[in-house]
Structure 1
Amino acid sequence: MIQLCLSSCAEDDLKKAARLSKKVALNVDRTIKVDIIYSDSAKVKAQGFAPVLDKVTPANGAVYQEMPKGVKINFIDEQMKIKGSITSDYAIMRDTEKTATFRRNVIVVNEKLTFNTEELVWDQNKKMFFSPSGVITKADGTVLNAVDFSATEDFNLINWSNGNGETYIPDGFGK
């Protein structure tokens, strides 16, 4: 017994198939052991380190820089001392949007707090950081679960819309 199977494609289906079969052209330039300096108005603001930096230039679309093996960025003060840092297991900088997105095991540290999250976005135009959620640990031991987190570039002003946590009140407080 022979079984015969027939199928047909409409003209619209063929057009869709042709579009899907087009190759997407990417140009990737890889740099190993990257050390990047970020400055504003001729003042060093940050120094970044990445084991791998891929500059990706799609055939159609905006150029972006990807750090698939993670990144560490140290924030520098006027005396050229480190005042804080961001580390993550992955990061992507989109030149056109002027954003940097840090993902997986993101940790922000400065003298006032530590912020842990799975995603943190820096908006260069707004000079702000944003995260859907994370854990804030303050120097006094206060721990907060923050939702809709935002912070100024220097993390001096932080906001969140909803959250809960645990705080410590020193002995003799309120007496």
Structure 2
Amino acid sequence: MRMPGRVVVASAMALALGVALSGCAGADHEADPTVSPPSVTASASPTPVFSSDAEALKAATEAFKKFLSVADAIGRDGGAHPERIRALVTAEGYEYEVEEAKRFSDANAHGVGSTRVNNTKLQSVQQEGNKVVVRIYVCEDLREVDVVDASGNSIVDPSRSDFVAYVVEMEGTSAQNLVLSSSKYWSEGGVCEVP
């Protein structure tokens, strides 16, 4: 089970899913010299959710691993009880996960194995008020992951790569409540390169 934008191991059911969420980019604006900027007091600034980039990367990585563990379990159970993932994704993501679980169930397919996170790198941390968004590059190791039909035959495209890179976005108000808000295939490389 994966968020919109993910390449799903159940390739016979949904190998190439469209990108549903994309990052936001702010436009560059020149300051108007006739307008004074609003004054900002120390009390108006929220306390940073993370004290360092390393702390943000660790929290986002752990939250994403938790998501993968539950998504893999739902897949191994043939799509049964997708509500297990509700607390780990946004509302939009939950709708997608329920649909994906139904695809597994309808195809009488189930997952085998577990997805591993091989490597992560921090892309960015943005905080607005108490909400924080952490974007990380993730290299997933799919070597032990398969999806099989009712007869036990693999339905995964044999040309699927063992290592796949994504840009993952986690959001929340603390390190303990980060949820998956988007996950897009990352073709630019770097995170899955083997030295």
TM-score of the pair, normalised by structure 1: 0.28
Give the number of the structure whose residues are more often strand, by fraction: 1
**TM-score of the superposed pair, with normalisation by structure 2:** 0.26
Indicate the structure with greater helix content: 2
Q: Which has the greater radius of gyration? A: 1
**Greater relative contact order (Cα < 8 A, sep 6+):** 2
